[in-house]
């Protein structure tokens, strides 16, 4: 594949990731976001693993800056405490994102509908388990530092989990579906990893 085709494909992958990241600024139900889809999309379509990490993480970071400093002050002023680079507990959130990208590396060598659904649900579970564990550790007064407190934290997160699954599957469908549609329409976008 010549360099122009590689650049076109890479540019399209970056554009889809950027649009998905910016969609976080559209009002939405809690946890109905493209976060897992961005990570999985990068893992599936960038031939270089370094790009599959750098671009999705950059998109996530930039969209976090916008969400934390534009979206929250407008829609949730009670959560806004002034300009911030990172949200509280960011290391759990970004750690879950790294694991989701790793899951994509393992499962999305070939993009197939059932693999996408299974990987999307797996990504939702990873995000739920990691971020709720982080919440439990960060707020022992809220849940207690016992195993019962951890169970209470996970139980409190279940309503958000369903939005996470719905958001992950929706954005996976939109992002992967758009790229596959364009790839079928313009065969120069196709190549194997």
Q: Delimit the domains of the chain by residue range.
A: 3-189
- Nearest alpha-carbon partner for 109 in 43, 38, 36, 180: 43
Confidence bin at 102 (pLDDT 50/70/90): very high
What is the CA angle 87-27-168, rounded to 5? 75
- Nearest alpha-carbon partner for 126 in 93, 153, 80: 93
d(CA 33, CA 65): 15
Give the distance from CA 90 to its chain's centroid. 13
Provide mean pLDDT across the span 75-94: 79
pTM recorded for the entire structure: 0.91
Is the Cβ–Cβ distance between 168 and 36 less than 8 Å? yes
As a whole-number percent, the residues of the chain with pLDDT over 90 amount to 69
Half-sphere exposure of 166 (CA within 13 A, CB side): 11
């Amino acid at each position: 594949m010549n360099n122009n085709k590689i650049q076109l494909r890479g540019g399209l992958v970056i554009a889809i990731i950027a649009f998905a990241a910016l969609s976080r600024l559209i009002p939405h139900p809690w946890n109905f976001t493209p976060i897992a889809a961005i990570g999985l999309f990068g893992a599936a379509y960038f031939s270089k693993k370094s790009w599959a990490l750098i671009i999705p993480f950059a998109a996530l970071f930039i969209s976090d800056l916008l969400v934390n400093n534009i979206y929250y002050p407008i829609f949730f002023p009670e959560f806004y405490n002034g300009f911030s680079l990172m949200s509280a507990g960011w290391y759990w959130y970004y750690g879950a994102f790294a694991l989701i990208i790793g899951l994509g590396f393992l499962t999305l060598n070939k993009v197939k509908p059932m693999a996408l659904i299974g990987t999307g649900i797996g990504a939702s579970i990873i995000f739920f388990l990691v971020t709720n564990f982080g919440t439990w550790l960060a707020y022992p007064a809220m849940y207690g530092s016992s195993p019962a407190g951890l169970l209470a934290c996970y139980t409190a997160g279940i309503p958000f989990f369903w939005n996470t699954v719905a958001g992950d599957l929706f954005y996976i469908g939109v992002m992967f579906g758009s790229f596959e549609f364009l790839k079928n329409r313009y065969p120069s976008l196709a190549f194997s990893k």
